[in-house]
Amino acid sequence: IISLAIKIDAFGAPNGSESKKVYFIDTEGNTRLIAKLSPDLVRNRPVFHACTTLTVSADGKTLLLDCEIGNAWYIVTADIKTGETKVL
C-alpha cells in the first residue's frame, strides 16, 4: 500500500523563504520531500489548499495539484522524481 500526503507549512515564513511542500509518506511513516511550491508562486500569500484532490498521472511520474493561494486558484504539475513544478 502506498499513500501520498500533503504537508502545508505554517503561514508567515520570513521573506517567503519557506514554501508549501508535498511529501511522500510510506506505510511505516517515513517521509520524503517530493516537491515544494515556488516562493515566486506563493509570494507570501496564504495557501488555503495545496491540493483538494491529489491526482497522479497514468505513468506515475507526475502529480497534479490544484492550489488555492491567496484569492486565486492554480493548477500545478510536480515531477515526483525531480521535484520540478510547473504552473499550467
Supply the Cα-derived Rg of the chain in whole angstroms.
13
Per-residue pLDDT tens for 65-78? 888 888 999 999 99
- Answer whether 51's CB lies under 8 Å from 42's CB: no
Structure confidence at residue 7 (pLDDT): 52
d(CA 6, CA 36): 10
Per-residue pLDDT tens for 7-61? 544 444 444 444 477 877 777 778 888 888 888 898 888 888 777 777 889 998 9
- Answer whether 35's CB lies under 8 Å from 85's CB: yes
Nearest to 6, CA basis, from 28, 31, 38: 31
Structure confidence at residue 88 (pLDDT): 94
Structure confidence at residue 78 (pLDDT): 92
